[in-house]
Amino acid sequence: MRRGKELAQAGHASMAFITREGICQDDWGEVFRHTVTPVEIIWLQSSFRKIAVYVESEAELDDLYSKAIAAGITAHIVTDNGTTEFHGVPTKTVLALGPDFDFRLDAITGHLPLY
């Protein structure tokens, strides 16, 4: 992917936890998430830290997703619709995990190289 595309996909991933699950719409049409976990509150009130690592294949991305779900970690795969970069083929581009505690995330991704 081009660098700009990578950044856009990471942006989608960084906010997936607040836009993908349990969303509601209020009387004015505003969309919001109606529940936030204690660990998410800590993350939102602190540094909004994000760590970018990489994998070598879509299979590895899928494996990490499965391990995160099995561990009870919030996980979202971002799938690009392929309009601008992947020749019309929907393509998994990013996996967002958390927010969660470092020790829980490190158990899933601690072995991966930093991007």
Q: What is the pLDDT of residue 23?
A: 54
**What is d(CA 16, CA 71) in angstroms, rounded to the nearest whole number?**
18
Domain boundaries, the chain: 3-109
Q: What is the pLDDT of residue 57?
A: 94
| Token representation of residue 70 | 């099995």
CATH number for region 3-109? 3.40.1490.10
Q: What is the pLDDT of residue 49?
A: 85
pLDDT tens-digit readout, 7-51: 888 888 887 777 665 555 556 665 555 577 888 888 888 888 889
Q: What is the pLDDT of residue 34?
A: 58
Please state the rounded mean pLDDT for residues 55-81: 93
Among residues of the chain, what percentage have pLDDT more than 70?
A: 86
pLDDT band at 60 (very low <50, low <70, confident <90, very high): very high
Q: What is the pLDDT of residue 63?
A: 96
pTM, two decimal places: 0.80
With residues binned 3-state (H G I as helix, E B as strand, rest as coil), the percentages for the chain, rounded to 5, are: 40, 20, 45
Q: Name the residue among 60, 62, 76, 106 with its Cα closest to residue 12.
A: 76
